[in-house]
Structure 1
């Protein structure tokens, strides 16, 4: 009974996924051809799912995914706690690299630090703290998020923001900034080369959700003495692995959602 129950559940999910991916819906004979299931089995499962609102039977005999799916999706999104989802992967990343790991959220023209795992070295503490706000143009995480936006939105952001030189390395010219965004789209991650805090470099990646939208980003930060170009190259795979893990909790497939494909 247990095996049969699991098999029935697996078949029901197969049917539901087929219908969700079919914009025009599917007739029973189409489903049986694709799945190899018996017509009576398909009909029985569709009838049960229709009674609960997961599928709809149209007048022409075609079945479509029902609005119950959208309703449950809204509940899932409303209950997502990004910090809770990211906490363990971030702590693991910090332990593995020995460096400080940040998580930010996009808010207006700024990013807000919402979680931070301190470096094990501890000798040099960064000025960042949970709740701190920073302009997007001078942080790796802010630039990573902007790289997922359209060209027009990036330009609108730039024109609507006052540009202060936090260090001698802060980018304050539009042309240079747009070149930076283009480079981020090509390589898939962003750098902060002492643009926000003197003596500190970071490598950052945006975190897309299931729709490909981006409102969070992750970074690894360290003093320039430890953050050479060679070290950054070595850290990128570790950063992207954890970014992909967090994004998967948000329903994203980072193999198909990149800054280049999104914007």
Structure 2
């Protein structure tokens, strides 16, 4: 009985922590209680425990709780321990030097992609909003579309229906048939584009890093403001992006895809 109670408390603590991680401005005990259905005293007890360990922070003036910096510390250890980041770091840095633009490495997790490595641009003051650990849906990102294009269509359809489809921008594809047509284009070209579908004013070209089965859980991308990402520029970036994709794929033991 005590073991069941402990597991239940752990589940509740994780529920609270996930809500705080997703909240931009933090949440009060009352808001967390309303969101989870937990009694305020239970929420307070769990938050107090997480505050002592640095997973949660409390603003004394407003009584608003936020996710603590200890999570960032732990996430950095996780990223450092990912073999894929170590293997991809040098090729991605070379891609950054060659293009002068921001380069990303992401991994698929559920219906989302997670940024696990980033090399900032060297050609201007504009910085991408992305950061290590940030999550975005697969369907509205170039890297996500590149990954999904390596999956069987029935799995793509299933993931689409599991996802919370909404327009992140006016350019986001929110129609299933249109998205499936986009998948066919990505498969034919060997790379995917994000045409301001995730962030207004930003385009990117992405390619999936496939495993020995030809299926991807990782992808790389080059992103830049639309002022520097004309169709002609995209065409120029295609070869270096696919070359680095092939290099990272080979380093991870995957099969190099036909261009």
TM-score past 0.5 threshold: yes
Confirm or deny: 8 A CA contact 1:203 1:232 kept in the other structure. Answer: yes
Question: What does residue 127 of structure 1 align with?
Answer: 129
Q: Distance in 2 between matches of 1:109 and 1:231?
A: 30
Large movers: runs of 4+ above 3 Å:
none
1:197 equivalent among 199, 205, 210: 199
Q: Does 1:219 align with 2:221?
A: yes
> What is residue 94 of structure 1 aligned with on the other side?
96
Gaps in structure 1 of 5+ consecutive residues: 1-78, 259-263
Residue number in structure 2 paired with 1:154:
156
Number of residue pairs the alignment of both structures matches: 179
| SS at 1:112 equivalent | strand
User: Would you say 1:110 and 2:123 are equivalent positions?
Assistant: no
Q: TM-score, normalised by structure 2?
A: 0.67
More moved, 122-131 vs 216-225: 122-131
Task: Tell me if the contact between 1:99 and 1:120 (Cα under 8 Å) persists in the aligned partners.
Answer: yes
Are 1:140 and 1:203, in contact at CA under 8 Å, matched by a contact in 2?
yes
RMSD between superposed Cα atoms in Å: 1.4
CA distance in 2, matches of 1:213, 1:171: 23
Q: For the pair shown, which has the larger CA radius of gyration, 1 or 2? A: 1
Give the deviation of 1:143 after TM superposition: 0.4
1:80 CA drift (Å): 6.9
**CA separation of 1:125/1:214 partners in 2, compared to 1, >3 Å: closer, same or farther?**
same
Equivalent residue, structure 1, for 2:43: none
Q: Check if 1:232 corresponds to 2:231.
A: no
Q: Which residue of 2 aligns with 1:8?
A: none
Shift of 1:166: 1.0
Uncovered stretches (5+) of structure 2, i.e. residues with no partner = 1-80
Write the distance in 1 (CA, Å) between the matches of 2:202 and 2:255. 31
Q: 2:104–2:119: 8 Å Cα contact kept in structure 1?
A: yes
1:225 match: secondary structure = helix
State the Cα distance separating 1:244 from its structure 2 match: 0.2
Q: TM-score, normalised by structure 1?
A: 0.66
